[in-house]
Every structure is written in structure tokens, then in C-alpha cells.
A and B are shown apart, each in its own frame.
Chain A
């Protein structure tokens, strides 16, 4: 069992549901099902709600940010990537059910009630003017999306499994994995009453998200931070509403068939509360 295997932790925490056997998954390849059903047959977006699962997330981050794309220094003896924002963050894992491996993770840095103006990593890299604009967002209900990562190496394990079992679905599931991690983001946001996502993202990633109908709005100019990054924010409900019409199958996956919207309805607010004034 590898170090990032989730099975050992799920057994301890009873966090993961029962696993499907490989034959059942292969049989599902011919079914007339939806994207959500297919996702649920192969993957699970699991909240990292115990210290052990947080460690799994941090190991994936180390793999991605220190080894595969060395943005951060790889000097942690435990092989984890961590920073001070982890103390007030929620994290999710993307788990491949058949192999019980965690392949990806994403983090939501939550606001500090007594220090809203220095809650998020992005606030440290903005210039004064942009920061002033950024701080007009409802920071008490905003959270920064960061460490969105799917490990290539860990994913190869799933690919190998897919080839061995002639399950081409797994070897072509890149888009599904991204959507799964975003489902994790939606779930965490609902649970913590978050209405806005903010981030400093690569323009390419922004365009990929835009292709999914998730449109972030820029706050200020591009900044240089491990390459060019666009500070930006997104009103979650607006994005989900647009997605519901433009990409209904994606919306269904992200909201777990609408359950995440029904379970955690957001309080009604005026439009003015939600967005920065347009320039």
C-alpha cells in the first residue's frame, strides 16, 4: 500500500463508502448513464476532514509542487508541502475508487474573522491599488482557491489499472478529475458559507475554467508570482447558475445532482453585495 493510499485512512475514519469491484466498473462502461453516475462509479471527492487525510493532501501537494512542478522547495523531511494558511483552510481529495489512491487535491483558504485583510495568500502579492479593490469583496464569506493539483505520477497508477482492465474510461478521465476537484470546492464552500472564490491563477487555467462555464473576473493587472498570474474572483452562485444552462451535465456533477444546492441554500442577497463594481 502506498503512502498516499486512502484506504488505510478511510478505514480509520469510515469516511469513504464501500468500494466497487473492477468487474462492476468495466460493466458500467456500456451503461446508458450520466456523467455524474460515471464519476461516482470511478471517483470520489472526499473532504480531508481528519489530520490523516490532510496529510494525504499535503503529500500530493509535495508531489506536484515540489517534484513534478518544482515551484516550492523540496526540503521537507516528511515529504509534505505545507504553509501557515493550512491552519485555516479546508481541503478535499480526489480518490480513485478501484485503486483506493488519492490522485488529486484542492485547498480552500478560509477567511480569518479577526484579520480579514490578511487572510489569503493572494493579498500578499497584490499591489496597493489592487489590494484596495480586492478588499471591497465580501471577505467574510470569501475563500481562496489554491493548490489545485492532480499528480501525474499518481494518475499513471490509475491509467495502468485502466489499461490492465481494458477500462478506457479511466485513461481518459482528465476532465472528470478536474470536475471532481471542483465538486470538492463547491461542497467545502457550501459547508463553510462561502459565497466568493478568489485566486491568483494562470491565464490558461482561467480559460480552461471558462470553457467549463466557470468564469472568474479579474481584479487588477497580471502579477508575476511563479510565472504570470491573474488575481481574480468568482461569485459561486452566479457561476453555478450560468453553468446550469451552459453545461448542465457539468453542473450536475459539480453540485452532486443539485444536492449541494438543496442541502446548503445560500441566503438571498442583493446583487450589490456580490460583485465588485465593473470598470
Chain B
């Protein structure tokens, strides 16, 4: 799919930019600079991970829903452990 090809390229760019930001952060002693760069890298990785998840869950290659919405203040992704929590609850329930 053309969309997926371009999406994969953009995802790679996002991860690359994030890696550069982290590498750059390691070169500074200044705490504010390090924090800004590391937070920036984390935010980029979150965007890339969102996009990857959207591609995995959408075999048709349609633009994912999150891409149709505007950026939100803070622009946070759900905590990564959330699905594990749900799975854990399910397993506990199953054993009972």
C-alpha cells in the first residue's frame, strides 16, 4: 500500500530523529538541554509507536483515526502497561 510505504518511511524518520535527539542529549552537561532533548525524543517515539500500532491494526492501510484528529495538549499516549493490566485481570478471572 502506498500509504503504508510512506508511513513506514515517516516512522523510520521519527525513530531516527528521536535517536539523534538522545545522542545529542548525551553530549550536554546542561540539565535543561538534556531534559528538553530526551523529552523531545520520547514524544517522537510515542508518535512513531502510535503510528506503528495503527498500521498493525489496520491492514487496509487507511489513515488511522488518531491521524485524523488534531494534536492534543501534552499529546500523551496511554500508559504502555495498560493492556498488560487488563490481560492480568482476565487471567485472574479465568483462574477463579
Contacts and interface: CB of A to CB of B under 8 A. Distances in A.
Interface of A: 29, 32-35, 38, 168-169, 172-176, 203-204, 206-212, 215-218, 222, 227-228, 230, 232, 247-250
Given A175-B17, A249-B30, A216 B71 contact: yes
A61 B43 CA distance: 28
A232 B71 CA distance: 11
Contacts, number: 92
Contacts of B21: 174-175
A215 B58 CA distance: 28
B32 A211 contact: no
A212 B27 CA distance: 19
A135 B13 CA distance: 34
Nearest to A206: B71
Q: Is the interface of B mostly helix, strand, loop or mixed?
A: helix
A228 B39 CA distance: 27
Contacts of B5: none
Question: Nearest 6 A-B pairs (CB), nearest first?
Answer: A211-B43, A218-B70, A249-B33, A249-B36, A210-B71, A172-B23
Given A174-B16, A218-B70, A247 B24 contact: no
Interface in B37-96: 37, 39-40, 43-44, 47, 51, 63, 67-68, 70-71, 73, 75
17 contacts: A34-B30, A35-B33, A38-B27, A173-B20, A175-B20, A175-B40, A204-B14, A204-B47, A204-B51, A206-B71, A208-B17, A210-B71, A210-B75, A211-B40, A211-B43, A218-B70, A249-B32
Contacts of A35: 28, 30, 33, 36-37
A168 B63 CA distance: 36
B33 A168 contact: no
B79 to A, nearest CB: 18
Instruction: With a 10 A CB-CB cut-off, give which of A172, A173, A216 has the most chain B CB atoms.
Output: A172
Given A203-B68, A206-B71, A249-B30, 4 more contacts: A168-B27, A208-B47, A215-B73, A250-B36
B10 A204 contact: yes
Contacts of B10: 204
Contacts of A176: 24
A108 B70 CA distance: 23
Contacts of A211: 39-40, 43-44, 47, 75
